[in-house]
Amino acid sequence: MTAPLPHVLVAEDNVLVADAMRLLFEETGHRVTTAGTIVDVVRAASSEPIDLLLLDLGLSDGDGLDALDQLRARGALPRVSVALTGRDEPEVIARCKEAGCREVLLKPVPVATLLRKSREWIGGTEGRESGSPEVRHGTT
């Protein structure tokens, strides 16, 4: 029996970006769910376990970090949550860390970086770090 595919939840309200990420992760051996709102993120993550949540902070119905609060209250947090944002201010990064994000990736995130990091997160080769989450600057 083969192991189930890692499940990635892409929380992104830009349909073109969400579709591109869905295709990227499907083509690299992942099962992918996309969600454009906090309501949809909570619904998807509450219905089945999520290995990796890629969470845009600016969803159409509010702050993406609110989804983590709701999932925590339901006992349905993803194995790994990573914030995606265009902002790298220390207070934004601190909020992401406090909400439980392993890392903060700055948009646009290079494809190679996203895939490499996702293998680390899903494969469990990188444990939860203390201190500030890692911040990666995008170039594409």
Tokens of 87: 């902002």
Predicted model pTM: 0.87
pLDDT digits (tens, 9 = 90+) for 18-68: 999 999 999 999 999 999 999 999 999 999 999 999 999 999 999 999 999
d(CA 8, CA 22): 9
Cα 6 from chain centre: 13
The CATH class of 7-125 is alpha beta
d(CA 61, CA 59): 6
Rounded average pLDDT over 117-127: 75
Each domain of the chain, given as residue ranges in start order, spans 7-125
Tokens of 118: 């996702």
Angle subtended by helix axes 90-99 and 65-74, to nearest 10: 20
